[in-house]
Structure 1
C-alpha cells in the first residue's frame, strides 16, 4: 500500500541572511554540477533546540518529495501541496523526521515542506524601517515563489498548487489568502486547527515587544538603532533561547510572536492593513478551502493547570487578569472584563478549578485559541466567496497521540496535531504504519480526502467505499455542515455553535 522508494528528496533551496540584518530571504547562489540534497537541512533556531532538532542560522531549507520526474520531454505535471509546519511560530521544523512523505506520496502528488524563521528571528519588529518584521511570512512566500519557478523539474504543476498547514501553519494559509505578496502563487488551501482569529492575528504593539526582547539580552532599548545594533552581536540561538522569558505567566501565552502590519518603506509588504479588515472587504484570494479542528485540541495544555493546585487557584482567583493572557484576547478594557466574567460563568460555572472541571477548562482553551477562529473565518468565507468551504472535526483516536495521560501510554484524547499522524510518517515520535496496523484505514481515509481535494478542490468528487460512500457537503450559511472524521465518516451540522455564540457576542469579526 505504501510508497517504499522516493525518487527525489531535495533540500537546500533558500539561504538564510546571517547576522541581525533582518530582511526578506533571497535566492541562493547558483551552482554547476550535482549537489547532494538527500538529507534534511538544519532546523531554524528555537528555544527547545536539542539533539532531535539540530539548528543553525543557515536554516531556510525546503524538502521536495516526488515519485515521478520528467522523462524524454514528458512531464508528469502532478498537483503540488506545500505544507507549512506548526509550532506557535517559535519552534518546530519542516524536516522529514516530522513530515515523512510515505503516506501522501502514494497519491501521486508532489509534496513540499519548508522551514521558516521563528520567534524573534522571524517576527521581531521595531515598528519602523530598522527591523521591519514579518520575516517568517516572507520566507514562506519565498518558498511559494520557488515552487512556481522550479517545481516542474520535480514533476509538479506550478499552476496547481495547494497550500496547507496545521496550527499556526493553518493560520498562515489564511494570511496568504489575504497578503498581496502571495497573490497568484496557489490555487487551494487547507487549514488544520488554524490558530487565527480577531483576538491575536497580529502584533499590535511591536515596539514594546522589541524593547522587552532587547532587555532580556542585556541590550540598550531606547532607540530602534540601539536595539538592532546590539542584537547583531548576539548569536541566533542565544536570541531564540530567551523566548520563554518573553512570556507572561507559566509558559503563557502559547503564541508570543505574530505577524504585524507593515508600514511602507519601499519594501514588499506582507500585510498592509489589519487582515480581518481585508478579509471582511472581500479583498482576498477566493479558493476552495478545507478547514477543521480535532476533538480535544488543547485539553492537555489546560490540564497542566488543573493538576497544579497553585496554578489552578491563581488562574481562578485572578481570572480577569490571567484569562486574557492565556486565551489571548484584549487586556484591560471594559469589554475584556465583561468577556472574562461571562467566560468564567459559562465554562467554569463560577466554581474553583478541580479535576472535575478539566473538560470545561479544556473547552475554554480550545475554543479561544483554535475553534473560534476556525468557526468564524469559515462562516465568513461562506458569505464572502462563491468557492467551496469544507469543514471537519477529526475524532479518530488511535493508539498514538502527541499527548498522553500523565504516567500512562493512553492517549489524552484526539488532541492538537493528532490528525498529522495519519498524513505524515512522523519518525521522531511514531512508528511507520503497515497494512497490518489498525491505523492504516485512517491513513487511507485521510490521505484520500486530502488527495481528492488537492486534485479537484473537492474532497469527495465521487462516492467510494474507502470513504464509506459519504459525500462531504460544503459548508453554507444555511447549513453549517461538517464532516465527522472517525472510523466511520459522517456528515453533521452546527459544530459547537452553543459555545461559539458567546465568542461571537463579545468578539465579533471586525478589524
Structure 2
C-alpha cells in the first residue's frame, strides 16, 4: 500500500517526459524509464528506443507455470538501454544443444519517433516466432528502422517458451498457455502506457510470424485479448494450422517421465507439482527434446509445447474452445485481419534433403503425411489411408510420379500446403465475414533470411521467414544492407512491404489510395490477394486455388472416414 501511495506522489511530482541530450525519461504506470536516441538505417530518421522494460513479475518459484503477475511499481528511473534476458530455451551450436536464457525474461521493447503524448501514432506490437520454443523480441532479427521510417510506434516482446510457456497438467492451477497469457499481459501494458511513448492506445495492431502469427490469431479469437487491439497480421501461421495446438493430457505423462529421469519415482500429481516447481530450469532444457523436424520417411509436424484448449475447470483460462468451434459459433469479426504465406514455405525444413537428395528416398518409399491435428490419429497402417496417400501422390507428382531431386518443387509444395498454407487459406476465408486481406510473399533476393541461414540461396522461391529482413532491420545480416541501391529489388521490397503493413495498421487498408495497386479484401467468393514479387505487387484471385480445394476435400473426407471408423469400432 505504501509503495503505491509513494508512486502516485512521484507521478504527480515528475513531468511525464524529460529530455537530456540523447536521452529521454518517460513516466509509466510502473515507474519512470529512460530511453536513448538512435537513427534509422536508410532515411536517417531519429527515434527513441526503450529496451528491456519489465511488464510482469519474474515467473519463478511459485509463479513458474502460472499466469503472469503484473509488474510491481519501481521508484528509481529504469535505464532502458539494454535488452532484457531472453526466455529459457535451447540454442544449437555446432550441432549440439545448449541451454540459454533465463526464466526472468518478461520484457518488452518500445521504439518511437516521438514521445509526445499528443503524437497519437499507430502502434504495431510484434510477436516473434520460433515454434513456441525459441527466439526473442531483440533486434538481432527485429530492428525497428523500416517501421520508424513509416512513422509508427513498434513494440517487440519476450514471452515464455517451451515447457515453461506451454506445459499444461489440465488442472485448475496448471491449465497451460502461459506464453499466450504473457503476451496478453504485454498487450494490456501497452494499452495502459503507450500514450506516454507517443502511441495511440486505440490504434494497436498485433502482428506476428510463424508461431507468433499463430499466437496473433489466438488473440483475435480469445475474448481475453480481442478487445485490446484493432487489427491483426498473421505471417506464415494461424490457429487453424495442423500444428497450432496440442492435447494437454499428454503433458502430465511427459512431466512424470522427466521426474523419472531425475531419479524421482512419483505417483501423485501433488508430488509432481512440487517437483516441477523446484527442479532447476536447466534440467528441463537438457532433458526435453526441443527440435522441430518433419521426420524422414513419415512427414509429421506436431509441437509438444504449444497452445492448448484449456478445460472448464481452469482458474484463469485464455481459450477454452477450439479455434474452429469459435469461428463456427457466431464469432464477432470486429478485428480487421491480414493473413499471408511465402511462395516456398517449407524450404527451411527440407534443407537437408535439398543438400542431399538421397535423403528423399525414405519418404518416396513410405509416402506418409500427417492428416490430423494429433499425429497419432492418422492411421497410416490402414488400407483406407493408403488410398488417400496414393491420391495425394498422384495429385502432386502425377501417376507413377516419384519424389526425387527432379521434383523438389512439388515436394516443397506438398509439405507447404499441408502444414502451413491450407490453414492460412482457411483462416483468411473464415475472417472474410469481417475485413480480411490475403497476400503471398514471393520475393527472391539477397535479404531472404532463412535461405541464407540454411544455405539455400540458389534454390527456388521464398522460404518461411524470408520476408522478415525486408520488414525489420536484421542486425545479424547488417552487412547485407550496406550496398543496397535505391532502385534495387531489395530496397523496393523494403519500401513496399513496410508501406503495406503500416497502411493496414493505420487505415485498415494496405493501399488506401489504390496506389500503386488496389489491394482488396476477400469479398464473398472473390478470394482477392496480392502477390509480392521481384517485379512488384500483383493483384490476383485465389492463390493455390486448385491445391487448396484439393486439401479441403482430402481433410474433410479423411475426417469423415475417421468418425465413421470410430463409430464402427465402438459398435
2:216 alignment partner, SS class: helix
Q: Given the two structures, how large is their TM-score scaled by the length of structure 1?
A: 0.89
Q: Which residue of 2 aligns with 1:191?
A: 234
Shift of 1:188: 0.5
Shift of 1:329: 8.5
Shift of 1:492: 0.8
Shift in alpha-carbon separation, 1:248–1:356, aligned structure 2, 3 A: closer
Q: Which residue of 1 aligns with 2:175?
A: 132
Shift in alpha-carbon separation, 1:471–1:364, aligned structure 2, 3 A: same
Q: Which residue of 2 aligns with 1:394?
A: 441
Alpha-carbon RMSD across the aligned residues, in angstroms, is 3.0
Deviations 1:299-328 (A, max 9, x none): 2323424555674333233334x6459996
Q: Which residue of 2 aligns with 1:342?
A: 391
Q: Which residue of 1 aligns with 2:122?
A: 79
Deviations 1:450-508 (A, max 9, x none): 111111000101144xxxx2111221232111101123211111110111112101324
1:43 alignment partner, SS class: coil
Greater mean deviation of Cα atoms: 212-221 or 473-482:
212-221
Shift in alpha-carbon separation, 1:263–1:135, aligned structure 2, 3 A: same
Shift of 1:247: 7.2
Deviations 1:401-430 (A, max 9, x none): 212497675466311111111110110234
Shift in alpha-carbon separation, 1:59–1:298, aligned structure 2, 3 A: same
Contact map agreement 1:404 1:410 (CA 8 A) in 2: no
Q: Say yes or no: does 1:13 pair with 2:54.
A: yes
Alignment of 1:269-284 (within 5 A): 269-284=317-332
Shift of 1:3: 4.2
Q: Say yes or no: does 1:493 pair with 2:541.
A: yes
* Higher normalized strand content (fraction of residues): 2
Q: Which residue of 2 aligns with 1:2?
A: 43
Alignment of 1:167-246 (within 5 A): 167-197=210-240, 199-204=242-247, 206-216=248-258, 218=261, 219-220=264-265, 222-244=267-289
Contact map agreement 1:85 1:93 (CA 8 A) in 2: yes
Shift in alpha-carbon separation, 1:327–1:489, aligned structure 2, 3 A: farther
| Number of positions where the alignment pairs a residue of Structure 1 with one of Structure 2 | 499
Shift in alpha-carbon separation, 1:10–1:307, aligned structure 2, 3 A: closer
Contact map agreement 2:173 2:314 (CA 8 A) in 1: no
Select 1:359's aligned residue among 392, 406, 409. Answer: 409
Q: Which residue of 2 aligns with 1:375?
A: 425
Q: Provide the C-alpha distance between the structure 2 equivalents of 1:294 and 1:245, rounded to a whole number of angstroms.
A: 25
Q: Provide the C-alpha distance between the structure 2 equivalents of 1:117 and 1:405, rounded to a whole number of angstroms.
A: 25
Greater mean deviation of Cα atoms: 311-320 or 81-90:
311-320
Contact map agreement 1:195 1:369 (CA 8 A) in 2: no
Which gives a bigger RCO, structure 1 or 2 (Cα 8 Å, sep 6+)? 1
Deviations 1:256-313 (A, max 9, x none): 3221121234622111111210112232442211111111111232342455567433
Gaps of 5+ in 2: 1-41, 561-571
Select 2:91's aligned residue among 37, 40, 48. Answer: 48
1:111 alignment partner, SS class: strand
Q: Which has the larger radius of gyration?
A: 2
Gaps of 5+ in 1: none
